[in-house]
Structure 1
């Protein structure tokens, strides 16, 4: 067999050299926020090729969704050479076998490399990775890193996060957190930093964006894709602008729980990964979002115990399909919830569009807890999901279609839709309980103003008003 030098027929570009050298020198954590087409995946494929022969183990190249991994990495062709990128990075002479079906390579030295998705990371079986690339990290499920970080810390493995920005989400939070951490190599490279993309190419791309989305969005996209700007909401996001406004207005921060009032919940009943639960109160007629829960098991009883342990005993707002039989059970999900002492209420059936609008109007009023405590850490994942809940782009029609992208954020958005449809159900109870010195006024659906006072009190109030006017 001919002698093969790794990385094979590849050398880092000048602007890639610092990242490459930091990895060779043993830096186990990288965060590369590079502009579009800067070669982020290429350099990471070479990290895997070298890493797999320096240390026998399992290596993963993780995309946001498993369904997109084949096109983006496995079948991707280098336009300059006409060869598959994986064949350039991993010469066939070094392989024991290649499985096209699950995008898996086993090398002759015992190492393996596989393309996976952040949407199914916890379903993978076998040896956990010692080397991980999280490609397009801004679009990925951040819970993947929460799951994998302890594994890589324990086995001394390395992780490289590569992405262009997608609004002010978990990628930006990670960059802010680790920018000055000596254990991390972090780098932001724009098209002007690298010189890899000409001004003419950027101008042509701007013109294409403008034709599709208009000038304002086109400018935001160019700043995002080529100049690594975190400004603005994700294009196509349903609620990105509203979340950004809530942040600017100071409605995202430390929000205490008022234990004199119940904490209610809104569910999107599915299996564990697909059933995020929002926990909220209605205080002074406004929604207060105080916690977020993403179950780790498929056992509905576990979810009830989690809520009970935290004192969340209000109404549980669930979708209409909760009246079907529970998984492998003779009872409906509503019946199961009641058997565990919960108080389920069916949310009125509404279209997805109506639910999205209800969610949007709710965000305009709501406060969101985002403190440094455990509640805040859970809420961070929920808020990131709200930012990333977005329309599907139809590449053939070159337009958005009015259905949500089926990714990690979809169910977070779905459960918030139910919250948006449900929270006003709680509000009248608080008006009735409110203690006031004077009468309580209510505006009816017809516009009539009614007060909770008797005839005598109403006459006395009228006399006092007349005296004030005459005086």
Structure 2
């Protein structure tokens, strides 16, 4: 498969799997390969300097052992293999900087918190290069990962998989319950349980910590109050604006019908010029 989406629970070994997969690909086809993190500065801690707690070895040394390497650049986090392939770490936080490069394989790590614009820029390059892309993540609410998963699971050109802690056995139930108690003490019972559902059961419904109205949105979804709401043409449509400057600008559209407040549409954008 040229495209895959792996929605796996926390501590399932997602990055380690993809690093080893890339090592094989780099010797099957001489090309450029990328490992994309949400932000470039995360890469050094999460990938380049990260140590496997089970082995005590650096992740990149396990995936790309010294005999496979011709050159390693610590400052720019680049490895050149004996095969001629080059692997580097990049960030999705500046997608414009990625345009023009010709990778043949990209791993998007923590895709749920990456800037999805990075894929919009890079997808045409991979299509031209007949390259592959793998997206690995744990859910963070109903964002672009959820819509991508809904698309991928019905697309024969994609491989889509959800793996929960109960599926892999990589994290014991005792460890999860101990973590639950810690979350309860920090975030409260409701948000603590939602975080466990998100991190270990790969739930897209969990309230995002720190999100405004996160708990209320979760409850509305659980009570089946979120769905397709038709606009009543005989009733005025009101709008509520959050005028973003450095962040997104958001516009909610709503009507009052039969005493109910119905949210019927939503718009979001960046770089909006205010006059």
Same fold by TM-score, threshold 0.5 exceeded?
A: yes
Displacement after TM superposition at 1:276 (Å): 4.2
C-alpha distance 130-288 of structure 1, shift in aligned 2 (>3 A): same
Task: After TM superposition, list the pairs within 5 Å mapping 1:170-181 onto structure 2.
Answer: 170-181=144-155
Secondary structure at the aligned position of 2:159 is classed as strand
1:396-449 Cα offsets, whole Å, 9 max, x none, are xxxxxxxxxxxxxxxxxxxxxxxxxxxxxxxxxxxxxxxxxxxxxxxxxxxxxx
1:293 aligns with 2:272: no
Displacement after TM superposition at 1:145 (Å): 1.6
* Distance in 2 separating the partners of 1:53 and 1:181: 29
Task: After TM superposition, list the pairs within 5 Å mapping 1:316-335 onto structure 2.
Answer: 316=274
1:193-241 Cα offsets, whole Å, 9 max, x none, are 1122212211221122122112222222222211111223212212434
More helix by share: 1
* Distance in 1 separating the partners of 2:67 and 2:233: 61
C-alpha distance 108-121 of structure 1, shift in aligned 2 (>3 A): farther
Displacement after TM superposition at 1:251 (Å): 7.8
1:280-338 Cα offsets, whole Å, 9 max, x none, are 77988x9986543345xxxxxxx77xxxxxxxxxxx3xxxxxxxxxxxxxxxxxxxxxx
Which of the numbers 17, 23, 36 marks the counterpart of 1:49?
23
Unaligned ranges ≥5, structure 2? none
C-alpha distance 239-102 of structure 1, shift in aligned 2 (>3 A): farther
TM-score (norm 2): 0.83
Between Structure 1 and Structure 2, whose CA radius of gyration is higher? Answer: 1
Unaligned ranges ≥5, structure 1? 1-26, 296-302, 305-315, 317-343, 345-471
Root-mean-square deviation (Å): 3.1
Aligned counterpart, 1:347: none
2:35, 2:90 within 8 Å by CA — same for their partners in 1?
yes
Which of the numbers 159, 178, 193 marks the counterpart of 1:219?
193
1:256, 1:290 within 8 Å by CA — same for their partners in 2?
no
Aligned counterpart, 2:139: 165
1:255, 1:290 within 8 Å by CA — same for their partners in 2?
no
2:95, 2:117 within 8 Å by CA — same for their partners in 1?
no
1:165-201 Cα offsets, whole Å, 9 max, x none, are 1122221111111112111111111111112221221
Which of the numbers 163, 167, 170 marks the counterpart of 1:189?
163
1:206, 1:222 within 8 Å by CA — same for their partners in 2?
yes
Aligned counterpart, 2:46: 72
Aligned counterpart, 1:35: 9
Secondary structure at the aligned position of 1:82 is classed as coil
More strand by share: 2
* Distance in 1 separating the partners of 2:193 and 2:219: 20
